[in-house]
Amino acid sequence: MKLIVGLGNPGRFYSANRHNIGFICLSHIARQYGISFSKKQAKARTGSGNIDGIGVLLAKPQTFMNLSGQSVRLLMNKLKLKPDDLIIIHDDLDLPLGKVRIRQGGSSGGHKGLNSIIRETGSRDFIRVRFGIGRPYGEFSSADEKNEAVVDYVLTDFSNEEKKAVKPSIALVGNIISCLLNEGLEATMSRFN
């Protein structure tokens, strides 16, 4: 069993935000494999099923981004999973819009959802599927102004032009998940990074 978690914020207000690309990708994967988010457990909406014959639990934490680790820890404990059974799909400011990268371990890179998961699970060794959303443009006079611009940026919806640009990458994440499950991390990184 693999636990695949998309990061985002619950509720319609946030549903099309850049910060919710993890939820958006997970919804695409669920549709692709006929999995519905029919259960509420461990502070998450979940759906179980098979991807290419491999059992998976898809989860969208309902704790809001900065507390995602609470849900992830509860699900991992319930399913008795190790960190390498966990795949997190999340937004990444440091990658250009639509660029997707796979890695295992490492720091959170300042991502508060990842910080929460690392803190709650006590591990950095899970697989991350990083989805580039780019950074806000402009000159900032202070660190506070820059941080405020970043928060506003990630909590804003994709523009119509950006939606078109990321659509192929959302489908690509589905292929990456299939490859991770069937061929493993090294083969997937070699093929998609």
Give me the active site residues, please. Answer: 19
Amino acid at 58: L
- 2, 85 contact by CB (below 8 A): yes
Say how far apart CA 111 and CA 84 lie, in whole Å.
Answer: 20
Q: What is the CA radius of gyration of the chain?
A: 16
What whole-number distance in Å separates Cα of residue 21 and Cα of residue 15? Answer: 9
Residue 60: beta bridge partners?
45
- Of 137, 89, 82, the C-alpha closest to 111 is 89
